[in-house]
Amino acid sequence: MNNGQKKKEIRVWCDGCYDMVHFGHANSLRQAKALGDVLIVGVHTDEEIAKHKGPPVFTQEERYKMVKAIKWVDQVVEGAPYVTTLETLDKYQCDFCVHGDDITVTADGIDTYHLVKEAGKYREVSRTAGVSTTDLVGRMLLLTREHFKRGDKEYSVALEHSSNLGTDSTARSPYTGCSQFLPTTQKIIQFSSGLSPKPTDRVVYVAGAFDLFHVGHLDFLAAAHKQGDFLIVGLHTDLEVNRYKGSNYPIMNLHERVLSVLACKYVHEVVIGAPYSVTADLMDHFKVDVVCHGMTQIAPGVNVTDPYLVPKERNCFKILDSGNTMTTEDIVQRIIRHRLEFEERNNKKEKKELAAVKAIAKKSVKQNGDCKITQQEPIKSH
């Protein structure tokens, strides 16, 4: 019964490291938001992560900023404790805590959600299969282009080789181990704003690779968003990106890059596989008022043409200085510099996960007399 009373707002709590934020994190936050009205996300400090998991790739300031820009997030709590306490939920008036259906443990192997689980204030959502920080790091270190062809046998063998470097190759954790992400139209619909520009809207168009979506991209998109009312991002195909970036770029394939960009709160629409040159047809079709590019170099097109020739001729091209110089290449360099630390971190994480999986299996055998590993059923499908 309504009785003119306002329905109580449901406040949802999530927390995590959110290092190298990817669309898997975004998808967990999307699902969490759907369980309530307001989503509060706690992000751990560098110190806490280093203590429990190993050094993060991104600094806490970078990680806070990335999570704040995810469109389902209403508030970020900086420096949230690694073990989720009832006091934390109370402090932010949250009704329950939501996490993906993987196991998170402290340095001592304790389930970080044991307190909220015991209090019945824990909900689970499906973890997005096929993407993890570990997987992305593996792709960067491989220096091959095989991740373009997901499902390819050669890729799987190479990846297995890379992720087993220095590890016990006889057992893989179901969470840390690499699997493959299968893009579906449903996922795109879930991530899409579903909005169209209003006739009076000033439409802004930007294009690029947006590979390993990072704070440099974010600051650029924030600046581009300020140029108008409706922001369209054109994403180049994998082959095009590889033509102008070379080596093993892009690290994330087109489908993955689409989801990363769609998760950003400044973006209204994405063109999947945009032409490298911003053509008159494209500008007229989307009724583009202004085309922007950041301070990074503009690689020429196939016939050494300027990809921004048309918008320049129409006098609607703008260079934006986001004030951030981070590039995808910088991230890859960070990973390469810290390769050994990351390998050690992943080995440690996988060992802890395997121990936890074994403990669950043992408990299950005791309870059921059966050898099946039971996991809590996620309460919502992905």
- With CB under 5 to 8 Å by kind, the binding choice for 28 among ligand CTP, ligand C5P, none is ligand CTP
Closest approach of Cβ 113 to ligand C5P, in Å?
Answer: 36
- Tell me whether residue 74 or residue 102 sits nearer to ligand CTP (CB atom): 102
Q: Collapsing DSSP states into helix, strand and coil, what is residue 124?
A: strand
Selected binder of ligand CTP within 45, 60, 133, 227 (CB under 6 A): 133
* Contacts of ligand CTP in 205-244 (CB under 6 A): none
Closest approach of Cβ 330 to ligand C5P, in Å?
Answer: 9
Q: Is 293 in the site for ligand C5P (CB under 6 A)?
A: yes
Q: Is 100 in the site for ligand CTP (CB under 6 A)?
A: yes
Q: Is 89 in the site for ligand CTP (CB under 6 A)?
A: no
User: Is-contact 127 24, C-beta < 8 A?
Assistant: yes
- With CB under 5 to 8 Å by kind, the binding choice for 132 among ligand C5P, ligand CTP, none is ligand CTP
Q: Where are the beta strands (DSSP E) in the chain?
A: 11-16, 38-43, 75-78, 96-100, 122-125, 203-208, 230-235, 269-272, 290-293, 317-319
- With CB under 5 to 8 Å by kind, the binding choice for 128 among ligand C5P, ligand CTP, none is ligand CTP
Span between the terminal Cα atoms of the chain, in Å: 31
Both tokens of residue 144? 């091959």
- Tell me whether residue 68 or residue 348 sits nearer to ligand C5P (CB atom): 68
Show Cβ contacts of residue 166 under 8 Å, excluding neighbours closer than 6 positions: 343, 347
User: Is-contact 260 26, C-beta < 8 A?
Assistant: yes
Selected binder of ligand C5P within 324, 331, 332, 353 (CB under 6 A): 324
3-state helix, strand, coil in the chain (%, to 5): 40, 15, 50
By the 10 Å C-beta count (0-12 exposed, 13-18 middle, 19+ buried), 160 is classed as middle
Q: Which stretch binds ligand C5P (CB under 6 A): 60-68, 72-80, 153-161, 290-298?
A: 290-298
Q: Is 270 in the site for ligand C5P (CB under 6 A)?
A: no
- Residues of this chain that interact with ligand C5P (CB under 6 A) are 206, 208-211, 216-217, 220, 293-296, 322, 324-327
